[in-house]
Each structure stands twice: as structure tokens, then as C-alpha cells.
A and B are shown apart, each in its own frame.
Chain A
């Protein structure tokens, strides 16, 4: 690939990379710094890039993720977070997922986005990045796993946990809105 083509393709992904970096850092200055370092690293490794069908975006996400965790380990700013992340890369039994105690068919999605944003903010950085790759980027489990350097099952676990947390928060919201609560009726699952 010609250098100018590489630069053009890489810059086309700037918005996506910036969004992902922001989910990791949650700080505009740190986000900008992380994105810049990612591009410096990408440029340095441009000769190693091979388009395996997914374009340059997954490759850049991988570099972004690696740079972020290299910094975390270097700075030891969030050692507990790293431990938590990798401790969660497991196939250990998860708690039974209790169903939402509300009627899905009565749920009003029009009023959920702000609550959802707050719920997402409460997730750890790795869960947010996984959610972003899944939700915004629309990547497959195996593509996310390749970016994060973890098994497919770990991605599924993270998505499962993240979705459970979001659903729980949405559930609180639905109760606020007066969505019919299953626990207050005699209805039973069919």
C-alpha cells in the first residue's frame, strides 16, 4: 500500500478512533493524547499492516487498545482496573441472570437514552470499549476478540455482563416511568 493511501485510510478512521479512545479515557485531553500516540505507533508499524478483509479500522483499534493498556501498566494509575479486567476474562460461572421484572412489550425506548448513557458511564473502561465495538462499530464477536486480544468467549462474557448491568439500570428507569412491574401482578412467565 502506498504511504499516501495508508495515511488517507488511517485519517478516515480518526472519528471512530477518537470515540473509542474517549470511552477508554473519559477525559478529552487524555483522549487526544492517546489518539495521537496511536497514530504515531500506527505510522511506525505501517509496513506490517495487511488488510485481511476488515480494512484498517480493526488494526487501528488494536493499536489503540494496546497503547492504552501499555500506558496503564506504565503509569500504574489504575492497577485495580487492569486486574479487574483480566480477572473477568474468564469462563467462571456468572451469577444467574434474573429476568427484568417488567414487561418488555410495554417498554418505552423513547425515554431511555439518557439513562442508558449514565449506565454506560458506570461501566469500566474495557466494558465500554467492548460495548462500543459491538454497538457502534457493529463488529462481530471474533473481530472484537481479535482487537482486544482475548478469546471469543471473553467478549461474550463481557457483553453479557455489560448488558445485564444496563438492563438493570433500564429496569429502574422503567419503574420510574410506571411500566408494569411483573412482581406486582399475578402474571407468570409463559
Chain B
């Protein structure tokens, strides 16, 4: 009868029977191990079948783990899009374009692809408090969309706030006047305000985004004027349906890690303000014309 290793030896001993068998099956035998194995084979007829067993195990592990065989096409397209965007960023000057709109189609495709990944991800992990949202009694809020939007915003803010590569890729508009025009073109209405210098935050960039829910959206991000930490993000989304949010109320979503997301609707646009500093938050909401009445979401 053939038996697998019956050793009580340390598996760290490279000359132990089991280590020799595994090394032989894996093609990892050293010269010394080869010599010792030959000696063992001559005295132990079960060694060869034990090696064959380990080899079979490896082959079957390979078969069992060869799934999923191919990456999803959407993921491949998204990565190709990132490569293409990066080419625009680091490519020769002659191929660069200062106009965001020249690359709008590609950007929207990238944003859509990011949305696919991000919205699938948001079901579990991102840093929004996961307590059930109480019913406010003010408006029939779609709470599922509310939660999804909050998670998406937290993730996008965290990706852009270091002002590194993701920021460079996403925030193609760096001028606040151009940002105003862009919002009008994309969302069909001007935002209440773009510049937030009076609250101590300097416009850093804007790019199209894909906040969950109906309507196109943009993301603007601001640096503190005093160069301290704590960027602020303002997302603005088309919102033609007044049933989604009560215009007389702003909603507060506490975020894990500090700060809160403030959401309100004004003039056919929904605003999502993410700021970690409470004092600044109050000032920002005043500047942006947020409703005075606040409810927890």
C-alpha cells in the first residue's frame, strides 16, 4: 500500500521526507535534496506516488483557481480609458489640449466606467455611517439613493483630496470662471456660487462626475486658503424632480472619520457639500445659499 508522508518531522527541515516530496513535486529540489531523495527512493517505495500525489494536487489547485478566467470587459475598458487619460496628462505638449471639452466624450466614458465600479463597491465598504436613516417626515426621500450618493461622494472626495494623480485626471477645469460655464453647459443651470474664498477655500478644480441618481453631475474641490489640511468638495447634480428633496430643508449625513455631508436642493440643482470642519461648514452653507432648516438624514 502506498502512503503519504508519515513524518513527524519539522516541515522546515529541507531534508525531511515531506519537504523532499514537496520540493520534488514543485521542481524546487536543491542538489543536496536531490541526492537525499534518491537515497530515500531506494528505500521507500511510496515516495514516488507521494510526489505524484503532490503534483496532482498542484494541478487540481490550478484548475480550481483558474476562475474567473477573464476580467470583465467593463474593467478592461476602464483601465484602457485611464491609460488614455494619462497619455493626455504626460504626453508631448503638442498633443495636449487645454480644453476639457475637446475630451468630453472620453471623460464621460471614464466617469461612467468609474461609476460602474464605484456604485458596485458602495454597497458595503465606504466610510459613511451605516445606521438606518430615519424618516424625516418632510419629504419622501429616496433613502437608498441618498445612501448611495453619500458613499459615492465620500469615495470621490477621498480620491481627489490628496490632489495627486486622480485629481489631475478628473479635475480638468482649473479656472473658476470656466467652471461656471461648464456647469451651465452640463447641468443646464448656473450654480449658486463657485468661488468660496470668503469662507477660506480656494477653487482647485472641477470635473464631470456621476453621482448616483437621475441627472448629470459635477464635482468641484477646494483647498483651504491657509494651506492647512481639509479639502472641501461640492457636488452639484441636476434635479428636476422636486419630490426627491424638500427645497426648504438641508439634510445632514454624518460621515465616519469626521465631518458631514450636507445635501439640499435649490433652483433645479441638488448640492452635496462635504466638509470636515464644522465652523467652515456653517460659513460655506451660508455662502452657497443652503436652506436654514436642517434635518438629520
Contacts and interface: CB of A to CB of B under 8 A. Distances in A.
Given A30-B121, A97-B11, A163 B57 contact: yes
Contact of B62 (A36, A135, A160): A135
B36 to A, nearest CB: 17
A190 B22 contact: no
B82 A36 contact: yes
B117 A29 contact: yes
A165 B44 CA distance: 25
B7 A43 contact: no
B64 interface: yes
A91 B12 contact: yes
Contact of B80 (A11, A103, A132, A134): A11
Contacts of B44: 190
Given A19-B67, A104-B4, A109-B60, A94 B10 contact: yes
Given A109-B60, A157-B11, A77 B125 contact: yes
Contacts of A182: 1, 3
A136 interface: yes
Nearest to A117: B64
Contacts of B69: 15, 19
Contacts of B5: 97, 99
Contact of B71 (A29, A35, A93, A109): A35
A190 B46 contact: yes
Interface in B53-106: 53-54, 56-72, 74-76, 78-80, 82-83, 86-87
Interface in A111-140: 112-113, 116-117, 120, 128, 131-132, 134-136, 138, 140
Nearest to B58: A135
A113 B60 contact: yes
A40 interface: yes
A97 B125 contact: no
Contacts of B71: 14-15, 17-18, 35
B279 interface: no
A22 B60 contact: no
Interface residues on B, range: 35 or more
B202 to A, nearest CB: 26
Interface in B1-59: 1-12, 18-19, 22, 26-28, 44-46, 49-50, 52-54, 56-59
Nearest to B91: A3
A134 B124 contact: no
B65 A43 contact: no
A109 B121 contact: no
Interface in B124-172: 124-125, 165-166
Interface centre among B5, B49, B58, B79 (most CB of A within 10 A): B79
Nearest to A138: B62
Contact of A29 (B8, B59, B123): B123
B227 interface: no
Contacts of B78: 32, 36
Contacts of B70: 15, 18
Given A29-B121, A104-B50, A190 B45 contact: yes
B3 A104 contact: yes
A103 B2 contact: yes
A87 B83 CA distance: 38
Nearest to A27: B124
B120 interface: yes
Contacts of A189: 1, 3, 6, 46
Contact of B87 (A3, A40, A75, A157): A3
Contacts of A120: 61, 64-65
A30 B61 contact: no
Nearest to B7: A97
19 contacts: A14-B75, A28-B72, A29-B120, A32-B78, A32-B120, A35-B79, A40-B165, A43-B86, A75-B125, A97-B5, A99-B7, A100-B4, A103-B1, A104-B46, A109-B56, A136-B62, A157-B12, A182-B1, A189-B3
Given A28-B120, A97-B18, A134-B61, 19 more contacts: A7-B83, A14-B76, A15-B71, A17-B71, A32-B75, A39-B82, A43-B86, A99-B7, A104-B53, A105-B2, A109-B60, A112-B60, A136-B65, A157-B12, A167-B57, A182-B3, A189-B46, A190-B44, A190-B45
